[in-house]
Chains A and B, each alone.
Chain A
């Protein structure tokens, strides 16, 4: 079997979904879609079979008020899809709407092929959201990752094969790549770096491009092998990233989405899935504090992999651990006890460890929080801790866990 993503689970799939729809969310926010209404309809060419047959439909959509409505309603739905709210319906409707948005943009000549794999990723995720709950496959979460990468990497193969079928060997034996560098240098482009001119004027750089061209083509054709062989995967990334960068610098062509999607070749599931230990780590919490109680309820909801156990700071488990003494009990709302290394973390360090332990998107949030200097995040922690009873209330006695979660609580 394919080893890539064999440990994928709900957490890594959640990150995949959030990243793909999150990128679409950013794309939509940054796209001034309303300016399409200013372009002359004469240069608009309908894209996609529905618009080809019903040209009037696309012209209605090019109305300025409709474009503003369309942009922000699509953005809102894609935001829901990225955050996992009504995830099946928001992903399905979101995928349809971004397809329509892309069709409108392409009607004015926009032909960013980099956006298409991102669109396919949205389709695969949407299909997976419907199929995974019913799946009887040994690891249903591996399928969307591998299937998407197969489709994405095969697009490179198609590029390479098309070049051979239509260009023949002539495309490599003559200096055709020089022609393309010149075309991209002199044509109107958004970036206009002008670095292609340097290649045209330097015989050495030109020569490097000419000999690099067939090498790139070989890697393009063999791209799907990156799914299977780790050594080829490393080589492929070492070749294809500089190729995309050179396209950007010397040809003014940016394939940003493709470059971001190639990150998927680093099996992110290995890092994102929570690690279950024989003896779970313990979160000690202030049993009478309203904030801590809510935090524990929140943890029970998100810790679906059952990585953590819970115990009140005032209980027997806390007093039984040797050397376990909070530095400042009045500030101790939660303390994280790492059972594997027998170490405990207080204040914001505990929050960071807990978030990282949860895996998925929370792990990424934990890493971002960890990047904040400790004194600064501890300052925020202390402020909340000092006001916790006033803001969130105080119980007279520790609340008892419900029957459903009783096994996760220690005395």
Chain B
């Protein structure tokens, strides 16, 4: 005889599991000084949605009649998913994640982007799309990382202040360490960012020269671009070179 849980038990368990997931998720967001209010709203909307779906008789009956082992599977997966969604610490919670898309309301009407160009030995200017040279990262946020690293070339006053510079007391330093562990992109010092970006371009240079042996690269440039979206439908685009690396005699970049 298969054990069937009652409606009361089902709604009770769902709410209990939701609370179990939401409290630590909100704590994580609080530690990260992130938008706790919106996260709480999101968590509440998720509960409302789940309760509405369970309000549909066929869904409720399906869940209630699930064998016990499957219910255990759901009892692990459901709160883990809510925690991952609300806490938004994708690198820690993998293989779970926070699902979002086109959600940020960026107030600015200007858009920053970067382009990477190379100058070959014959004087030709070529597009250096890193994703073309590393196709396994083709659907990647690598470009976000590169833009972050590339911003190191912006003037100092525009740089966000490194949290390690602001964390003075022991308590703050501990909180900072937790924050760095949880953060998807831990903040990196300006010089370190430049060094990492240079390392990355050395790899691209190596890949490019492996493919184009007859006309290798002699320099690599980072172009910082801006699009003024107020000028649509004819967007005003400006481009400025912010860094240039020359290929040295060892085949590296200077």
A residues adjacent to B (C-beta < 8 A)? 1-3, 31-33, 35-36, 38-40, 42-43, 45-49, 52, 99, 102-103, 105-106, 108-114, 116, 119-120, 127, 131, 134-137, 140, 143, 146-147, 151, 154-155, 157-159, 161-168, 170-171, 174, 176-180, 182-183, 186-190, 192, 200-203, 206, 213, 221, 224-225, 227-228, 253-254
B115 touches A (CB below 8 Å): yes
Q: Can you report 19 residue pairs joining A to B where beta carbons are below 8 Å apart?
A: A1-B58, A38-B203, A40-B196, A109-B141, A111-B141, A112-B139, A114-B139, A131-B67, A162-B103, A165-B42, A166-B104, A170-B105, A176-B105, A182-B227, A187-B143, A188-B114, A188-B146, A200-B235, A206-B233
| Alpha-carbon distance between A136 and B138 when the two chains are bound, in angstroms | 45
Partner of A159, one of B70, B99, B130, B232: B99
Q: Is the CB of B53 within 8 A of A224?
A: yes
Shortest Cβ distance from B16 into chain A, in angstroms?
Answer: 19
Q: In the complex, which residues of chain B have a beta carbon less than 8 angstroms from the beta carbon of A49?
A: 92
Q: Is the CB of A105 within 8 A of B102?
A: no
Residue among A99, A120, A189 with the highest chain B CB neighbour number at 10 A: A189
| Alpha-carbon distance between A154 and B53 when the two chains are bound, in angstroms | 10
Shortest Cβ distance from B150 into chain A, in angstroms?
Answer: 11
| Alpha-carbon distance between A295 and B105 when the two chains are bound, in angstroms | 64
Closest A residue by C-beta to B127: A192
| Alpha-carbon distance between A218 and B42 when the two chains are bound, in angstroms | 15
| Alpha-carbon distance between A134 and B130 when the two chains are bound, in angstroms | 50
Q: Is the CB of A163 within 8 A of B74?
A: no
Q: Is the CB of A110 within 8 A of B203?
A: no
Q: Is the CB of A159 within 8 A of B195?
A: no
| Alpha-carbon distance between A225 and B53 when the two chains are bound, in angstroms | 8
Q: Write out, one digit per residue, whether chain B residues 119-150 have a CB within 8 A of any chain A CB (1) or not (0).
A: 00000000001111011111111111111010
| Alpha-carbon distance between A108 and B130 when the two chains are bound, in angstroms | 12
| Alpha-carbon distance between A31 and B59 when the two chains are bound, in angstroms | 39
Q: Is the CB of B104 within 8 A of A167?
A: yes
| Alpha-carbon distance between A112 and B141 when the two chains are bound, in angstroms | 9
| Alpha-carbon distance between A200 and B142 when the two chains are bound, in angstroms | 24
Q: In the complex, which residues of chain B have a beta carbon less than 8 angstroms from the beta carbon of A171?
A: 102-103, 105
Shortest Cβ distance from B139 into chain A, in angstroms?
Answer: 4
B178 touches A (CB below 8 Å): no
Closest B residue by C-beta to A137: B67
| Alpha-carbon distance between A164 and B91 when the two chains are bound, in angstroms | 24
| Alpha-carbon distance between A97 and B226 when the two chains are bound, in angstroms | 42
Q: Is the CB of A136 within 8 A of B67?
A: yes
**With contacts A35-B136, A183-B111 known, is A127 near B73, CB below 8 A?**
yes
Q: Is the CB of B145 within 8 A of A254?
A: no
| Alpha-carbon distance between A28 and B236 when the two chains are bound, in angstroms | 42
Q: Is the CB of B2 within 8 A of A161?
A: no
Shortest Cβ distance from B63 into chain A, in angstroms?
Answer: 9
Q: Is the CB of A161 within 8 A of B95?
A: no
Q: In the complex, which residues of chain A have a beta carbon less than 8 angstroms from the beta carbon of B134?
A: 35, 39, 108
Q: In the complex, which residues of chain A have a beta carbon less than 8 angstroms from the beta carbon of B113?
A: 183, 186-188
B206 touches A (CB below 8 Å): yes
Closest B residue by C-beta to A98: B95
B211 touches A (CB below 8 Å): no
Q: Ordered nearest first, which 10 A-B pairs have the shortest CB separation?
A: A165-B42, A109-B142, A190-B138, A40-B199, A186-B113, A112-B139, A158-B99, A162-B100, A190-B131, A163-B103
Q: In the complex, which residues of chain B have a beta carbon less than 8 angstroms from the beta carbon of A206?
A: 232-233
Closest B residue by C-beta to A252: B139
Q: Is the CB of B46 within 8 A of A158?
A: yes
B181 touches A (CB below 8 Å): yes
Q: Is the CB of A176 within 8 A of B102?
A: yes
Closest B residue by C-beta to A107: B91
| Alpha-carbon distance between A183 and B106 when the two chains are bound, in angstroms | 11
Closest B residue by C-beta to A50: B94
B175 touches A (CB below 8 Å): no
Q: In the complex, which residues of chain B have a beta carbon less than 8 angstroms from the beta carbon of A227?
A: 59
Q: In the complex, which residues of chain A have a beta carbon less than 8 angstroms from the beta carbon of B116?
A: 188
Q: In the complex, which residues of chain A have a beta carbon less than 8 angstroms from the beta carbon of B2?
A: 136-137
Q: How many residues does chain B have at the interface if contact means C-beta atoms less than 8 Å apart? A: 85
Q: Is the CB of B140 within 8 A of A179?
A: no
Shortest Cβ distance from B202 into chain A, in angstroms?
Answer: 7
Q: Is the CB of B111 within 8 A of A111?
A: no
Q: Is the CB of B105 within 8 A of A202?
A: no
Partner of A2, one of B35, B38, B58, B95: B58
Q: In the complex, which residues of chain B have a beta carbon less than 8 angstroms from the beta carbon of A162?
A: 42, 85, 98-100, 103
| Alpha-carbon distance between A183 and B118 when the two chains are bound, in angstroms | 23
Q: In the complex, which residues of chain A have a beta carbon less than 8 angstroms from the beta carbon of B62?
A: 1-2, 146
Closest A residue by C-beta to B91: A47
| Alpha-carbon distance between A47 and B90 when the two chains are bound, in angstroms | 8
| Alpha-carbon distance between A161 and B1 when the two chains are bound, in angstroms | 39
**With contacts A48-B94, A167-B105 known, is A110 near B142, CB below 8 A?**
yes
Q: Is the CB of A165 within 8 A of B138?
A: no
B200 touches A (CB below 8 Å): yes
Partner of A42, one of B139, B143, B195, B227: B195
| Alpha-carbon distance between A176 and B101 when the two chains are bound, in angstroms | 12
B156 touches A (CB below 8 Å): no
Given contacts A47-B91, A109-B144, A167-B105, 17 further A-B contacts (CB under 8 A): A1-B61, A40-B202, A42-B195, A46-B91, A105-B136, A113-B99, A119-B95, A137-B2, A162-B103, A171-B103, A176-B106, A183-B111, A183-B113, A187-B113, A188-B129, A188-B143, A200-B232
Q: Is the CB of B111 within 8 A of A182?
A: yes
| Alpha-carbon distance between A254 and B235 when the two chains are bound, in angstroms | 25
Q: Is the CB of B85 within 8 A of A158?
A: yes
Q: In the complex, which residues of chain B have a beta carbon less than 8 angstroms from the beta carbon of A178?
A: 229, 232
Q: Write out, one digit per residue, whether chain B residues 182-194 have a CB within 8 A of any chain A CB (1) or not (0).
A: 0001100000000
Closest A residue by C-beta to B192: A42
Q: In the complex, which residues of chain B have a beta carbon less than 8 angstroms from the beta carbon of A119?
A: 95
Q: Is the CB of A52 within 8 A of B137?
A: no
**With contacts A52-B181, A158-B85, A192-B129 known, is A166 near B100, CB below 8 A?**
yes
Q: Is the CB of A109 within 8 A of B139?
A: no
Partner of B100, one of A35, A108, A135, A159: A159
